Structure 1
Amino acid sequence: MLAVAVTDLLPNGLSAVYTFYEPDEERRSLGRYAILWQIGEATRLQLQAVYLGYWIKNCKKMNYKTQYRPIELLTNQRWVTLY
């Protein structure tokens, strides 16, 4: 096994809980592949969204989340589109 993407099925989307992969296979972009698979599954299941979880703007380890658009932020019980 090269990668695992723990994913929760929600009424309107998929929640990417945790993804991990074989460190020696980093060149294969398995984390990116996992997100693209989740997007494909959400589309196949006719779900609205894939939730990538918390995002801290100034955290470099979380910058990969900005590669997937649109980015929406839940604030004051409302979804706001950032990008």
Structure 2
Amino acid sequence: MRKLLLLLLAAPCVAWAQAHSAEEVKKDIQRHRAMAAAHEAAAKCLESGKKPDVCMKDLQASCKGLAIGRYCGMKHEH
């Protein structure tokens, strides 16, 4: 049963990997790194004492065209 569950969870990942060309995967890697850099900048912005609204606007500007949604492809609770 456990092996079946693992197979079912892994199947979408395998299908995704096969459906993308090497060039598409390379572009996805670049997007993920750019999103990570934008989130790191947002964290540093908050650490500097700036208001969350200011940091969020900076994050949204950094992520324009990179990710879906207002939160640069990531949203956490609160």
| TM-score, with structure 1 as normaliser | 0.34
Task: Name the structure where helix makes up a greater proportion of residues.
Answer: 2
Determine which structure has more spread, i.e. the larger CA radius of gyration.
2
